Amino acid sequence: KLQMREKTMIKLDDAYDENNIFAKILRGEMPSITLYEDEKTLAFMDIMPQATGHCLVIPKEPAVTFLDLSEDSAAAVMATAKKVAAAVVRAMEAPSFMMAQLNGSAAGQTVPHYHMHILPRHDGLELEFHARAPEDMAVLNETAEKIRTQI
């Protein structure tokens, strides 16, 4: 039998929830470890990383999934992802990296504000579980500093 974890359902036709965790981060009501910010996007450390250097790029535009994102915001997210991914690769000395984004609960999305994951990959190093174990803040801050100096 399928074992499902207790979690909020995110559907493709959901209205935007102004109180989701990333909306709070954008309003400065929740802390985050910022890597990069511009007029349309924010990049910050994932606090439950699947790899050291795992970070997220979000649009400032309220959008639940890729389908809700304006083309303008989508372009801005990609431009920021390109800057940040290059910095992550340099900072983590990664031979490879992954970019991923999940749309809706059935795809594994857990936060209902669109986000692009950037994950450095190394040979033989499996990814940690998705959104499972919080990383030590000191480690996150140290990794963030390494990435920031490469942006």
CA distance 15 to 32: 24
Residue with smaller CB distance to ligand AMP, 94 or 102: 102
Contact 33, 54 (CB under 8 A): no
CA distance 5 to 59: 28
The contact mask relative to ligand AMP for 29-58 (x = CB under 6 A, - = no) is ---x-------------xxx----------
For residue 12, state whether it binds ligand AMP (rule: CB under 6 A): no
Residue with smaller CB distance to ligand AMP, 23 or 111: 111
Q: Minimum CB separation from ligand AMP for residue 4, in Å? A: 15
122 is an active site residue:
no
Contact 61, 42 (CB under 8 A): no
Exactly one of 85, 88, 94, 102 binds ligand AMP (CB under 6 A); that residue is 102
Q: Is 83 exposed, middle or buried (0-12, 13-18, 19+ CB in 10 A)?
A: middle
List residues near ligand AMP by CB under 6 A.
21, 32, 46-48, 102, 108-111, 131
